[in-house]
Chains A and B, each alone.
Chain A
């Protein structure tokens, strides 16, 4: 399917999903669904850098939280509607991504990953010590109960995240099939050979860190309105970084479907576990699934399905 067709088709699918959720007549569906969609964005954004170019980013939480804290700042200065907040959050985290790229992309492999982890710690320390956004005490955000058209505010947040998820997935898919996608794949496989093939590796890696960071920031922007109370410990929670890596790995990093499948699968499992068992179980589920998948399906769910299909045809 061409890119021009995919976006409307995905949007239509999203709206149908939204309609189906409304038919349940229970706002909890939106409350839980929001988190799953947020992980679709985070996993897809992580995969732009980690899956396509092979640079493993442990600092997802930093980009995500910076998006959220951009919203906190704006909430105090001049409140904006959610889509505008997403744009600002994306801008802030995108610029941080660009800066991080400049500083760290000369590092490879595990050294790059450690640098991103350090970035997360630095960012969290800065926010913790910044009184204006609540410091370590955290900050309360008073949000309206109702919105004009949809009624419930959670539904409005869900819809905004749904549209963002569709845009993120469509972007990832478009990149994969483009000149940029070939450049990213070349970088992932062999940077020296990529340069020798005319690929401007440094510039492309900066594009990847910027885009990846921007989407993570956009995913974080509505968070203060969703949780209504935000403190650094929850905004920079390890769970975001771990999930953003685990979801693409479990789904498959090779293409846009993997992070989507992984996020829906793992995100839903976590939501169900939260309700039926206990929320503390979430990270344990991630850990066990990750271990299981590394052993059984190292190329993720997508790789498993492809392998089956190929096995049957040959």
Chain B
């Protein structure tokens, strides 16, 4: 059997005296759809930041695609195939929508395909990605002109431009309407069909239950449950965390 795509062992992170993450163990197989849930402040985003290299973990190890990535700069992890979207969209405001996609296309493709993409190949990829998320009409606009859902789509398209093996979508649907949530979900399922492993961090239970093959629950920096969605929501500790005693 192939080694797991992502293997996190005993990962810990503290901010001063505050323990944000403690002894997290997590394995994600290639092609999986994993949901990561937990109350606010439970350490979900900190975990994402430790996985992607935006924060350095204090203890434990992260292996991605058979390589130890601890201490590796975020941009190198992205080049290895670990892409993320941000909880609050962080577009490059000074660039056009297409320009936002060109950045990862220019900076990541070279490191796996060997040669850099030609100017033509970049434009083709750019158009494909815009079509994938349905922003082809907005290619020349600035991110400031986009609606909230379009901004989320741009965020995902930019993550996809890095041709990732693993996509970590940090609350890609927060603040969206019912229909818009379905829109993004369909997009994520499409990406998963193409073979991309996805970790979805989400508060909207309907979305996360419908999407995930496996659910992981963080509470106060610890992993308290890991299993199929049906198992996990019946887990007494999860009920207590979400509904109280």
Contacts and interface: CB of A to CB of B under 8 A. Distances in A.
A201 interface: yes
Interface residues of B, number: 31
Interface of A: 179, 182-183, 185-186, 188-190, 192-202, 254
B90 interface: yes
Contact of A183 (B53, B79, B107, B159): B107
A201 B90 contact: no
B93 A196 contact: no
B204 interface: no
Nearest to A188: B94
Contact of A200 (B73, B95, B162): B73
Given A195-B54, A195-B75, 18 more contacts: A182-B95, A186-B92, A186-B95, A190-B91, A192-B74, A192-B90, A193-B91, A196-B75, A197-B75, A197-B78, A197-B107, A197-B108, A197-B161, A198-B78, A198-B79, A198-B104, A200-B76, A201-B75
Contacts of B83: 196
7 contacts: A182-B103, A192-B54, A195-B75, A196-B84, A197-B108, A197-B158, A200-B76
B36 to A, nearest CB: 18
A192 B55 CA distance: 11
A195 B73 CA distance: 8
Interface string B1-41: 00000000000000000000000000000000000000000
A240 B108 CA distance: 39
Contacts of B54: 192, 195-196
Contacts of A195: 53-54, 73-75, 78
A179 B74 contact: no
B105 to A, nearest CB: 9
A196 B86 contact: yes
Interface of B: 52-54, 73-76, 78-79, 83-84, 86, 90-95, 99, 102-104, 106-108, 111, 116, 158-159, 161-162
Contact of A194 (B103, B116, B161): B103
Nearest to B109: A198
A240 B20 CA distance: 48
B83 to A, nearest CB: 7
Contacts of B102: 182
A186 B99 CA distance: 10
A216 to B, nearest CB: 24
Nearest to A190: B90
B137 to A, nearest CB: 17
A194 B158 CA distance: 11
Closest 7 CB pairs of A and B: A198-B108, A198-B107, A195-B74, A189-B92, A197-B104, A193-B90, A198-B78
B119 to A, nearest CB: 10
